[in-house]
Amino acid sequence: MAPPPVVTGLSPIEGPPGTRITIRGENFGDKPSDLIGLTICGCDCLLSAEWKSPNKIIARSGPGKGKGDVIVTTRLGGVGSCNVSFKGYHETIGPMKESAVWVEEAPLFVWGRHSLSPSSYQQEDPLGLSVEGNDKKFPEDDLLELFPNCSGDITMDNFSACWFLLENHHCTSFNDLQAGLLHLRRKVEGQKEGQLSFLKANVGSVMDQVDTIVALKEKFEKDTAFYGTEPTLKLEKSIKESEREARKLFDDVLARRDRAEKTRNALNVLARFRFLFCLPCVIDRNIKKGDYDIVINDYMRVKNLFNKSEVPVFRTALSEIEKRVVGLQKMLHEKLQKMPITIEEQKRLIRYLINLDAPYEPAWDAIKSHSDYINLRFKQCYEEHKAAEAALAEELNKVKNSHSASKYSKYSPPQDALSTVPENILFIEELCEILSELFPDLWKLGQSYFTGELHVKVEPGRQAGFKHMVLTIIEMFCKTLRSAIIPHTLDKNVDRQLCGAWSLSDIDIIAPWLPACLRYIRATYKILIKLDLPSEALDIIAGLILDLRVYCMSILFKQTTEQVKHLHKQETWKIEFCSTHSGITDLPVKFEQSVQEAIHLIKESVLTNEQREMPLLDNASAQKELDKQVENLLSAFHGVLKNLAFQDDDGDGGEDRSPVVSQLIGTPITSYRTHDATNNIPVWEYRLLTTLSNCQYTNNTVLNHISDSFIKSGYLLSKMPIENVKSKLVTLEKAILDAYLEQKSDPLVGTIEPSMYLGRFDWDTDITPSDIRPYAKECINNLIHVHSEVYSVSPTLVDSVLPQVVQTIAEELYRLMSCVQKFSVPGIQQARADIGALQEIFSGYSTPKAKTFFIEALEIIPPLTKADSTIIEDILKQCRIKMRLQILCLSQHRTNGPVKT
Amino acid sequence: MSKKPATQPALHKVIMVGSGGVGKSALTLQFMYDEFVEDYEPTKADSYRKKILLDGEEVQIDILDTAGQEDYAAIRDNYFRSGEGFLCIFSITEDESFQATQDFREQILRVKNDENIPFLLVGNKCDLEDKRKVSYQEASDRAKQWGVTYVETSAKTREHVDKVNSIVCRWYC
């Protein structure tokens, strides 16, 4: 790409439009066609541009005014730049100014010497001298005095050169004045010469002009010779004639037009009268058709036309019309107050009535009738549902009476009721519907009334009246709702009578419907919020919603509590082994599930805040209620567990409870089998263990889960309820454990003594022992049995159960030993072997207390000589080999971890 | 495309004065574009700008070519006021033009009110030695009297044009 063009020289640098300018610079392209653009002072001058060389272009300036750049654009170099600027000015051509071109002077000048702008032909400084230093002005008064009747104005007749010089050049030096004179002289000469040179410069156009004038003269002379000296005579004559002809043509038409006009006027009057006299009929017809707009229009028109008329006929017609209109007003007014009606229709009717100058107050009447209608609908709805409820109750009674014998009478109605929606719920739904349907219209109507949209003057006191109306409706709505579901929140004496009580159904029936109720009311509330009601009115509903939410929450919790209370019926006693906590039934899981469900449901329906609602639990009483209900709920499960542990079901517990010694010795497992086969409910010990396990699981896991999910769902639950229940559960755990231990260790320990002295054994024996005695073996076996029983339910329970049992055994042994009167040497050997074996085998489950009991028992037994002790070692050794299996059973634990008590 | 330089170089205004037809425009065009214009066309006021690189410093010289004709004498004052340097041209073939330099000198001094304003007296058309009316001595005496330099040039042959050029440049460096 070539370098961009640069303009570095202009000749000249200023001039009026059309000035021929030589533009010099660089990179103007190599040939004329390279030049593709030229602007001078922003005006495109490419048309006049003439490319001379890469350094030179000649062009004529455009109409641009003021200083501006000269920009050359070439095909290869693009838009160029400019170092010098051109100044365009518009010259005013005066009558004294020479100009080679035609100037349209008519709009510029009004002929006459004095109207000329002096500056157009007067030079500022005729001497061509700089008058810069001439600061001091010569006082004009002095000048007037010096040269009376003279003037310094060069254009005036009484011009005085002295005045002029004194005025403008009184500080100028003589030399300068001489120079000025020279200049002036030259100027005058130049002007003379200038005329000549001007003619020379424009000789072409001057010659043209002369030629044209000569041609014109010749032509004119020829015409004069041909047509005579007055060429326009004939023309004048023809103009006159044509004028006459035109008149002849159009006079007729004009006359006809006048006539037509007159006729039209007459017809108009007739039409007006006809309009008046026909109007009553027309009004009747239009009323029938419902075209009230037309009626109103006609009425206005007729009033405008004839209202001031005194003619009796017209007055009669008018009164006839008035009568019709009054009838129409009445009709419209009645229509306005007839409910139901849409707000648009009402507004239209109000407009009609206003246009008809009705004597009513249509807007306010409409509002009033609206409000009355809402109240009426409330009442109707109430009565309707009340009646339905009564009918239902009667029917139920009938059913009850006919089935009075049936023993489940108490449970049969709910089954019916569950499938059908309770009447008060239906009532609430309908009431909400009525309010959300009708109230917005009332409110909107009221708003447009008060904002003046209805073009009615608002009467004083209406505002308060309307407010009262609105509040009454809202209050009525809330009270009726309260009476239907939460009557306990109503003021007993006043409101219950007012709104009528509902027979309250069971919690079970109403609970599933409560969230729906809440939803209805909330939807209504939302509609009201959208209407931008005053907060006073909204707060009434907000209060209702809050109460309902609290009630709903507590009902849902109560319901869950009821469910939980019935959980014990669902106990299957089937043990589920899960990885984290072994040996539980699905009862705690079910419990957790139902609690979680309740939490979820309540959160969904009650706890979440909707528009313009407070967080429920900010309310102190709601919080208290929540705590109470949660505690109830959790305690209910505690009750369930307790029931399961300690209560007999269907009276078969007694059998289980009686400890049978032989069973313990014999085959203990078989007893379960038989029981399982009969009625699916396991023996009491088993149930105790299971419940104990469940209890622990609930305490350690389920409650934490529940607590977590309470927090996660945003309940601000205090710790109290959960802590309370935990401590209750701990107590229950202990009670169950005690019961179980009592149940187990009592018979176990009780068998030791009889077995020990079985076959009239005496410690003063002289039979050298060869093995530990059967009672010790029995004791071991019994413990293994307990172990297996506990383990089968829950391995974790082994740790809490077995040490207790071992401790009682050790205690019993100690007691027995201390009761022995006399030991023979073999007896001592026997006793030491027995107790040593038990001590060793039970060591895995020995509490420190048990250990001391063992040691004390051994200490009671008299000591032996060393030779006599060897036999004990032998027995123990033999015993370890023989009872390897049993030892393994009880020692297995030691690998698992240390004993805890 | 018109990129402005980051720093605008110094700009100096030089004014060509002298009687009509002495060759101010010819000298200017020769100076600017190395071009000699044969045809005579009276100048009204022309403007040229040239960038000169001197000792690594860029200087812009704005040349205002004025009208020599007396018709335009009245507007001269305005031009002179903005001038920072003056080239006063006369034709060595025309004594009248040489005498006129005196007037120009005085007018400039009056307007600028500065004796030391950069001023150069130029005798043009020195190629027409045979038509010489003003002797070199005469002209250089006047220059000496004014305390300015005198140069004889020929716009046609470009004789000493560059000398004028360098003198002008030296004024501003």
Residue for token digits 């006063």? B88
User: CA of A6: which chain B residue's CA is closest?
Assistant: B2
pLDDT given at position A130: 57
User: CA of A189: which chain B residue's CA is closest?
Assistant: B71
Q: Which residues of A touch B4 (CB under 8 A)?
A: 81
Q: What is the largest CA-CA distance in chain B?
A: 51
Q: What is the pTM of this model?
A: 0.48
Q: Residue A111 domain-assigned? A: no
Distance CA B43, CA B17 (A): 11
CB contact under 8 A, A130 and B77: yes
Based on the domain organization, do A759 and A740 belong to the same domain? no
Structural domain range at position A348: 272-356
A81 shares contact with chain B (CB less than 8 Å): yes
A23: domain CATH number? 2.60.40.10
User: CA of B73: which chain A residue's CA is closest?
Assistant: A128
**Amino acid letter at A657?**
R
pLDDT given at position B140: 92
pLDDT given at position A816: 81
Of the residues A747, A762, A782, the one at which a domain ends: A747
A327 shares contact with chain B (CB less than 8 Å): no
Based on the domain organization, do A40 and A75 belong to the same domain? yes
pLDDT given at position A492: 56
Pairing label, strands A14-15, B57-66: unpaired
Based on the domain organization, do A414 and A541 belong to the same domain? yes
Q: Residue A729 domain-assigned? A: yes
Q: Residue A762 domain-assigned? A: yes
Q: Which residues of B touch A55 (CB under 8 A)?
A: 33, 35
CB contact under 8 A, B45 and A13: yes
Q: How far, in Å, are A351, A451, A523, A528, A595 from residue A455 at the CA level?
A: 8, 9, 33, 26, 60
pLDDT given at position A769: 76
A753 shares contact with chain B (CB less than 8 Å): no
CB contact under 8 A, B46 and A13: yes
Average pLDDT, chain A: 75
Rounded to the nearest angstrom, the minimum Cα separation between A150 and chain B is: 27
A389-395 own/partner pairs: CB under 8 Å, 24+ apart: A389/A423, A389/A424, A389/A502, A389/A503, A392/A423, A393/A503
pLDDT given at position A216: 92
Collapse the DSSP code of A19 into the 3-class scheme (helix H, G, I; strand E, B; otherwise coil) and give the result. coil
Burial class, B39, CB count within 10 angstroms (exposed 0-12 / middle 13-18 / buried 19+): exposed
Rounded to the nearest angstrom, the minimum Cα separation between B149 and chain A is: 27
Q: What is the number of residues in chain B?
A: 173
Based on the domain organization, do A520 and A426 belong to the same domain? yes
Distance CA B103, CA A225 (A): 65
pLDDT given at position A412: 42
**Amino acid letter at B71?**
D
Contacts of A283 (CB under 8 A, 6+ apart): A295, A298, A299, A321, A324, A325, A328
Based on the domain organization, do A876 and A760 belong to the same domain? yes
Based on the domain organization, do A418 and A546 belong to the same domain? yes
Rounded to the nearest angstrom, the minimum Cα separation between A166 and chain B is: 21
Distance CA A522, CA A432 (A): 9
Distance CA A211, CA A209 (A): 5
A122 shares contact with chain B (CB less than 8 Å): no
Q: Is A2 left (phi over 0), alpha (psi -120 to 50) or beta?
A: beta
To test the contact with chain B by mutation, choose from A14, A55, A127, A130 the residue with the greatest count of B C-beta atoms within 10 A, namely: A130
Burial class, A831, CB count within 10 angstroms (exposed 0-12 / middle 13-18 / buried 19+): buried
pLDDT given at position A567: 75
User: CA of A4: which chain B residue's CA is closest?
Assistant: B1
pLDDT in tens, A194-234: 677 777 777 888 888 899 999 999 998 888 888 777 777 88
CB contact under 8 A, B2 and A82: yes
Number of domains, chain A: 6
**Amino acid letter at A463?**
Q
pLDDT given at position A666: 39
CB contact under 8 A, A8 and B32: yes
- Of A71, A77, A84, nearest to B49 by CB-CB distance is A84
Q: How far, in Å, are A257, A742, A746, A782, B118 from residue A775 at the CA level?
A: 150, 20, 16, 10, 144
ipTM: 0.83
Distance CA A526, CA A521 (A): 9
Q: Which residues of A touch B35 (CB under 8 A)?
A: 55
Contact A392, A425 (CB under 8 A): no
CB contact under 8 A, B49 and A71: no
CB contact under 8 A, A12 and B46: yes
Host H or E run for residue A804: helix A795-819
pLDDT given at position B137: 92
Q: Is A172 left (phi over 0), alpha (psi -120 to 50) or beta?
A: beta
- Number of CB pairs, chain A paired with chain B, less than 8 A apart: 72
A604 shares contact with chain B (CB less than 8 Å): no
Q: Which residues of B touch A82 (CB under 8 A)?
A: 2
CB contact under 8 A, A79 and B50: no
To test the contact with chain A by mutation, choose from B31, B49, B106 the residue with the greatest count of A C-beta atoms within 10 A, namely: B49
Based on the domain organization, do A558 and A441 belong to the same domain? yes
Contacts of A451 (CB under 8 A, 6+ apart): none
| Angle, CA of A96, A101 and A107, to the nearest 5° | 65
Distance CA A321, CA A27 (A): 94
pLDDT averaged over consecutive 10-residue blocks of chain B (173 residues)?
Answer: 52 90 90 84 85 79 84 73 90 92 89 87 91 91 92 90 86 76
Based on the domain organization, do A630 and A662 belong to the same domain? yes
pLDDT given at position B89: 93
pLDDT given at position A500: 57
Q: How many CB atoms lie within 10 A of CB A563?
A: 19
pLDDT given at position A457: 74
pLDDT given at position A1: 67
Between helix A703-712 and helix A587-602 the angle, nearest 10°, is 10
Q: How far, in Å, are A163, A527, A539 from residue A612 at the CA level?
A: 94, 12, 9
- Note the Cα A890 to chain centre separation in Å: 67
B50-54 own/partner pairs: CB under 8 Å, 24+ apart: B50/A8, B51/B9, B52/B165, B52/B169, B54/B169, B54/B173
Q: Residue A1 domain-assigned? A: no
CB contact under 8 A, B49 and A8: yes
Q: Which residues of A touch B3 (CB under 8 A)?
A: 81
Rounded to the nearest angstrom, the minimum Cα separation between A94 and chain B is: 19
pLDDT given at position B143: 92
Interface of A with B in 168-197 (CB under 8 A): 183, 186, 190, 194
- Of B25, B73, B111, nearest to A128 by CB-CB distance is B73
- Of A11, A85, A190, nearest to B43 by CB-CB distance is A11
Of the residues A747, A766, A794, the one at which a domain ends: A747
Rounded to the nearest angstrom, the minimum Cα separation between B25 and chain A is: 10
Based on the domain organization, do A560 and A613 belong to the same domain? no
Rounded to the nearest angstrom, the minimum Cα separation between B38 and chain A is: 15
Q: Could you tell me the domains of chain B?
A: 10-171 (3.40.50.300)
pLDDT given at position A732: 83
Distance CA A4, CA A74 (A): 8
User: CA of B51: which chain A residue's CA is closest?
Assistant: A8
Q: Residue A381 domain-assigned? A: yes
User: CA of A186: which chain B residue's CA is closest?
Assistant: B70
Q: Residue A527 domain-assigned? A: yes
Rounded to the nearest angstrom, the minimum Cα separation between B34 and chain A is: 11
Q: How far, in Å, are A71, A740, A779, A781, A848 from residue A844 at the CA level?
A: 111, 21, 15, 15, 11
User: CA of A180: which chain B residue's CA is closest?
Assistant: B74
CB contact under 8 A, B1 and A8: no
pLDDT given at position B152: 92
Q: Residue A217 domain-assigned? A: no
pLDDT given at position A653: 37
Distance CA A613, CA B125 (A): 105
Q: Which residues of A touch B110 (CB under 8 A)?
A: 130
Intervals of chain A under pLDDT 70: 1, 91-126, 128-138, 194, 400-421, 487, 489-511, 570, 572, 576-583, 607, 610-612, 614, 616-617, 647-682, 716-717, 891-901
Rounded to the nearest angstrom, the minimum Cα separation between B130 and chain A is: 32
To test the contact with chain A by mutation, choose from B11, B41, B48 the residue with the greatest count of A C-beta atoms within 10 A, namely: B48
A78 shares contact with chain B (CB less than 8 Å): yes
Q: Residue A262 domain-assigned? A: no
Based on the domain organization, do A585 and A729 belong to the same domain? yes
Of the residues A728, A747, A766, the one at which a domain ends: A747
To test the contact with chain A by mutation, choose from B36, B47, B65 the residue with the greatest count of A C-beta atoms within 10 A, namely: B47
Based on the domain organization, do A370 and A288 belong to the same domain? no
Burial class, A319, CB count within 10 angstroms (exposed 0-12 / middle 13-18 / buried 19+): exposed
Based on the domain organization, do A493 and A583 belong to the same domain? no
CB contact under 8 A, A14 and B45: yes
